[in-house]
Amino acid sequence: MKRITVYISSLILAVAALTSCHKQLDRTEPNTLPSGNVYTTEAGYLQVLAKVYGSMALTGNQGPAGNGDVAGIDEGTSDFLRLFWKAQELSTDEAVVAWNDPGIQDFHNMNWSSSNAMTKGLYYRCTYIVTLCNEFIRESDPAAVSGRGITGAAADNIKRMRAEARFVRAYAYWVLLDLYGKPGFTTENDPIGKFNPPQTTRTALFSYIETELKAIEADLANARAQYGRADKATAWALLARLYLNAKVYIDTDKYSDAVTYSKRVIDAGYSLLSDYRWLGLADNNVSNPEFIWTLNYDGIKSKNYGGTTFLVNASVGGDMDRNVSGLGGWGGIRATRNLPDLFPDVNGNGDKRAQFVAGTQNIEINNISEFKDGLAVIKYRNRTRSGAFGQDPEKTFADIDFPVFRLAEMYLIYAEAVKRGGTGGTEAQALIYLNSLRSRAQVTAAPLGFYTTDYVLDERARELYWEGFRRTDLIRYGRFTEGTYLWPWKGGVKTGAGVAATRKVYPIPDSEIAANPNLKQNDGY
């Protein structure tokens, strides 16, 4: 009998009871149960759904390490957020890292290969998430649920859970679409066990994600129904992001669709959190009207050396005061000068979004392996709004939730899509949204003539830095591999250098190519 590993999540059960201010994925020790025993009640389905969500925030069944999810790779190179952040930020002008772990310097040098352990780990984490989702979707088919004697409200709730799993799968496929272009492709309809997935194309995968997100909309909960779980607005937000980048993905612009779906989210009842500096704090789940969907972390109950624990610890080092971050220091990641140069003052004067440590750091990077070279970023701090430390008494693991989607991004998508010719919106309305971000940052309102596509790119950097957007943004603007826009140590050169355009996608892992004859490598690798 096939067996699956299940997270029993006290929090996801609490979420189901509408206690939405609590963290999701608080969990007890995992249990291994035959699948037939799990899928017999609504509660059993909810346990498996917790594992689906947990696959994006944790690395295994033990925590903080041990009994990892993904076989064949080190658990330290299998955390979704840690790897996604490196791929999206370390390859750009927003971040460098001091460490010399195998493959990590390849990101900023832009010389990664198909054997890079970190791009490989991210690919396998995403395909693992897809596999979990396929399992849940297969077992929650209405015919299967009915055949198990589950009816009424319980069956309706399982139908909603099935839509959530389809969303998580669509999101994982978006990551693969954006970073790898044409991965192997499976759904719940494919055989279980030994099976070589066929390779999809970027165009086909784009269409699949789009179709899935529209198909599940009716079955998802209304916007803001339950914190940490996918709902209608989550699907709209991913569609808006997908459409904004359609010209890159399928060589067809979808800016009008980006306007439509970003506006749906904007009109769904969200509002900006009053203080930008609260977005990355340990209690950012409390009374936060801005977050649309998050990866949730708890310093006691969901320990993991990735996620926001990585973002906080790796951002602290040198002569910095450890109490600022609320956790210890690993002395790793910091910014190139291109990022702080977008602000009028690194200390937040003139724009409160600037969260840098300048006094003990050098803005210039002469030695990429020296933590003091490059301004430290303290956007993520395991302190609460009142100044208290996070829950972990050892000050190692973070309580900070990571916003995958938040309202500010939707404002920026609307503004860029309108400026690029998208219909259904106006530049005047876009400026209102942009000025609301400036107002929160205590920046003077901008006039209409100030609003250009270049301004939006800079504003995305000021608003969304270190949230996993920069690589995708630079590719969309034609500034990622090109020599027309440089940053310190781009391409492994101190003053920066252009690299081959093939670097706009990462390679399919060589081990995957070797194992699956259906797959062909991306060009240039």
Q: Dihedral of the CA atoms 113, 335, 324, 464 (nearest 10)?
A: -90
User: Can you give the pLDDT at residue 15?
Assistant: 31
pLDDT for residue 371 is more than 70: yes
pTM, rounded to two decimals:
0.94
pLDDT for 170 beyond 50: yes
Q: Is the pLDDT of residue 82 over 80?
A: yes
Tens of pLDDT, residue by residue over 251-262, are 999 999 999 999
Give the DSSP H or E segment for 5.
strand 3-6
Return the DSSP state at 95: -
Q: Give CATH for domain 37-295+402-515.
A: 1.25.40.390
Provide the pLDDT confidence category of residue 35 given band limits of 50, 70 and 90: low
Closest CA to 10 of 24, 52, 284, 35: 24
Render pLDDT for 130-141 as a digit per residue (tens, 0 to 9).
Answer: 999 999 999 999
Q: Is 404 helix (H, G, I), strand (E, B) or coil?
A: strand
The answer to whether 238 and 265 are in contact (CB under 8 A) is no
Which of 68-72, 174-178, 253-257 is the least confident region?
Answer: 68-72
pLDDT(36) > 80: no
Mean pLDDT of 483-487: 98
- The pLDDT value recorded for residue 3 is 30
Q: What is the pLDDT of residue 73?
A: 79
Mean pLDDT for the chain?
Answer: 92
Provide, rounded to the nearest whole percent, the portion of the chain with pLDDT above 90. Answer: 84
Q: Output the pLDDT for position 16.
A: 30
Whether residue 324 has pLDDT greater than 90: no
Residue 466 makes CB contacts below 8 A (sequence gap 6+) with 85, 89, 94, 95, 311, 377, 379, 380
In order of 193, 365, 430, the CA distances from 494 in angstroms are: 48, 8, 38
d(CA 487, CA 464): 18
Name the residue ranges covered by the structural domains of the chain.
37-295+402-515
